[in-house]
Each structure stands twice: as structure tokens, then as C-alpha cells.
Structure 1
Amino acid sequence: MIGQFMEGQFATLFTGIVVVFIIAVLLLIILYRVKIPSVVAFLIAGFLVGPSGLGLITNEESISFFAELGVIFLLFTIGLEFSVSRILKSRRYVLIGGLVQVLSTILIWTSLMQITGMDLAHAFFWGMLISLSSTAIVMKVLADRMEVDSPHGRATLGILIFQDLIVIPMVMITPVLAGTTDTDISLVRLLIGSFVIIAVVYISARYVVPALLLHAARLKNREMFLFIVMGTCLIVAYLTSEFGLSMALGAFLAGIIISESEYSTHAMSSILPFRDLFTSFFFISIGMIFNLQF
């Protein structure tokens, strides 16, 4: 009985995914002719099959799983294009640019909300929300334009990295703004997690991953090479999420680990098909939550 139910659920989900692909392909062809980015096609496709559209897919959690993988693989490939030395050169974008962007946005938005009569705590909370951007959407647009390595692309990436990091103190402040002191993320856990992640990234980039990739390359085993690359991505992303950081940041750090080896180019070519597929699911999932009435 349970097996039949699960089979029915899978069949429904699979049918919805097939419809999504058909609609997305048609929209990609149409929008390409008028030079509209592919992101728009995925958003529209998600809306059409979602609850507010034709209602073909109602189990949004299943699509969200694929969407999360899309964000992970997108940030992983971006990390592959960078190295530790290049990140250090961009530290002024991370520290200065990110700090100025976040603080100025919070200050402006909090002031505007207070003018409308909102109390300080709620206004400050909305300021924090508005100050954050979607790393996946911004970097996808830059990647499609091949501008990730441009001066404004590096500046944008630096600011986005800062936003991913500043989320942690924002999460810790939120219970205080709400008038409670309960929080699942303690300062001690955050500090310990930061040290653990830094140690894992350093040791992996310096010793573990290059040795594993070299071994796989010598054996000429494509499956082993691919699993080492994807395993590194998923493990580091999982570690960062366990310590309260975003999985996207972990995936980016995993990409930097691979970029320090001589096989980064080969790793990039292996992961690109997965990135493009799952990233499309991310934008489709965003389209599914659109509500025209709202």
C-alpha cells in the first residue's frame, strides 16, 4: 500500500517535471529570439506549473531539493574559477564593499520604515532582509554574460560573500529584536565551527584533495574523479550548514579547494552539466512560489 502511494507520488512528480522541461524549452526558444535571459524562461515555467498557475506540481519540497543542489553547484563552479590568492586580492571588496553595502542599506531602509510609523525593532529587521541579495541569481546572470572575472564581477562576488557571512550575526540578533533570547546558534558553536571549517579547507586544499585527484588521474578513472570532486563539494557544504553557515558558502569554499589543484579545469568540465541542470531547477522553484494575486 505504501509502495503504491510512493509510486503514485513519484509518477505525479515525474509528470510535472516532464511538463516543466517542455514548457521551459519552448520559452527558451521564444525568449532567446528577443534576447531575454534564460532565467526569465525558468521563472515563467515555474509559475505556470506551480500552485498559482496550472497547478501541475503541488509538492514544492521535492523541487526545492533540486533547487538547493542548483545553488550548491553554481557556487561550487564559481569557486573553481578562483584561487586563494585571487580571493585575498578581493578582500577589500569583501570587507569594505560588503560592509558599506549592508550597513547603508539597513540604515536607509530602517529610517524609511520609521518614517511610515513602524517601530525600530521591526524596521531594523526589514532593513536586514532588504540588505541581502540572492547569490545564485546574481552570479547566474554574471556567469551567463561571462563577467564573473571582470572588475565589477569580482566586486559583486566579494559583497555577496560578505552577505553570506553577515547572515550569522543577523540570525543571532533576530530573537533579541523579537523580545526573546532563545537561539539555536550559540556564539561558541559559531566560533568552533569557523575554526573547524578553516582547518578543513586548508588541510583539504593543501594535502588531501590534490592527492586524491592525482590518484584518480593516474588510474584514468573518470567515475572516481567525478565522485571526489562532487564529494568535496557536498561534504564542505554540509559542514558549513551544520555550523550555521550557508551551504552556498560551503560550496564556494569547496570550489576554492579544488581550484588549488592542477586538475581544476578538468573538474570544471565534469561538473558543468550538473550545475546547469540543477540551477535551472532553482529558478523554476522560485517561479513556483509566485502569486499574482498577492
Structure 2
Amino acid sequence: MNYFKIAVLAIGLLATGCFTQNSGSTQIVSANQKQEKLTNIKYSSHERNVMDVYLPADRSPKTAFLVHIHGGAWTQGDKTYDTKISEYLLSQGIAVANLNYRYANLTDTHLPELLDDIDNVVKYLSSHSKEWNTRKNGFSISGGSSGAHVSLMYAYTRNPQIKTIIEMCGPVDFTDVQTLQYIKSANLLEVLDKMSGNKAVWSPGDKIPDAYVKTSPAKFVNQIPTMIIHGDKDEVVPIQQAYILENALKAKGVQYKMIVVPGAGHLITKLPEDEQTVFTNVAEWLKKYGTN
């Protein structure tokens, strides 16, 4: 695969993340506890700090509760991108918080601020555990594309109590020269610098900026069970990134599963059969590692 092509396509796909979009919801009442969708809950002070919370029927403090982070190159995107997977997981008896977060910029909002937003989500969910009859801690986390990157960094560097991580088509190592060359060729270095807070312009042959090292999840792997899902024809985040994370997990002896979706690009749920593969594997993984 040529990883240095189609800069415009790369920017467009990074802006939408790795899922197709969908909207709408249902509410089902059970004999014991109703299934609910709570929309646009304000979890912190910024205008982007809102989330939709999906609560399954007959839930308990042992029910898996997933914090899900949308893609969009850290600078765009919306929780509505991931309505469909959230509703599927709800149908499988899994609680989901599908959230918006602050966009990264070149001045005052970088990865630490994005992680602060995720931390505020977790604190909000924990504080409402008694009201909702949900877990107080031991949440799971997932995301697509840049949302996968943020998910990994939050679990690996901020919250070791996360029960499991599911990363889908995410970048994991900005110290990889081939990846940086691709990012530069696609005119996406400024986006990376917004997220990482790097101030100097990187060029091939330069030393890797410390900001790129400090924001590379593969450098911070810990013992949290991790699922990797990636398309082998991903034209935005090369599948080599998934293999880098796999090798880092192997080296640390971490429980993991890697699913390669044959023929899939960055929009890994574009085809119905691929969507079903992704959704069912995510649900099965959460039922195994996100409960109790």
C-alpha cells in the first residue's frame, strides 16, 4: 500500500473518524428497570462537554459501562458519528457514554486537556452510579481513529482502573518515521501539533520531538486488556500502526486480541458485513472484560 497518497482523502476521513454515521434511538421498558437514553448531558463547563448516556434495562453495578470517544483528528467530529454502535451495544445490555470533548488547538488545548475532559466524564458517571444503578468504577473505554488514540492515552497514563480498551483504526506511535512522513505528506503535521503541543516543525532527518514521544500510546502500554480493530486497506492510519501496538502488548505480556478487517479502509464499518464484524466483536469483548 502507498501510504503517501491522497492527502485530501486523508483529511476528509480523519475528520469523520472510522465509523459511518447514524442517528435516532428507542426506549424500551422492562418489568424491572427501563432502558434509557439520556441526551446532551453536561459533564463539565466547556460548550463541547456534553454526552449521551445509554442505560440498558435490568442493569446493575456489574454491567459493562463503555466510555466512547469519537474520531475527527482531535480537531473535528461529533458524538453523533457513533450513535449506531452505541445503540447496538445498548441492545446487548452494555451501558455507553458517547461524548463530545474539546477540540485541540495550537494555543491552550492539547492532549492533557482532552484527557481532562475524559476524566470529568468518568467522574460524572461515577457520581451518578447510585441514581442509575450502574458501576462506580472499572469503566471500559473505546474510540475510533483519533478517539482510539485518546482512549489509549487515557487508560495508559491517567486511569489504570479502566477495565479494558477497544481501539479502532487509531494512530499509536508518532515516533515511527514512516508514519511521520505520511502525516507530513498529507499536510497533517499541524493537526498533530495541535494535539501534542509540539512547537517546532518536524522534517525528515530531524530528531523526533519530545511532544510526539509523550503522546504515543505504544510507549505507555500497561496491563489493561486491549482489543485492536483495523482495516488492512486503511489509507489514513496505516495498519503498521496496529502491528506496532500489538508488538508492544506482546512485549509486556498484556491480554489482547487483534482483528484485521480484510479489505476495509479507515471507515471500517462502511460495508454491512464489516460493521457486523466490528460491532459483534466489540460487544463480546466487553461482555468478557468489562463486567464484574
Task: Give the TM bin, normalised by the shorter chain.
Answer: under 0.3
Instruction: Compute the TM-score of the two structures, normalised by the length of structure 1.
Output: 0.27
Task: Looking at secondary structure, tell me which structure has more strand per residue.
Answer: 2
Task: Looking at secondary structure, tell me which structure has more helix per residue.
Answer: 1
Instruction: Compute the TM-score of the two structures, normalised by the length of structure 2.
Output: 0.27
Q: Which has the larger radius of gyration?
A: 1
Higher relative contact order (CA 8 A, sep 6+): 1
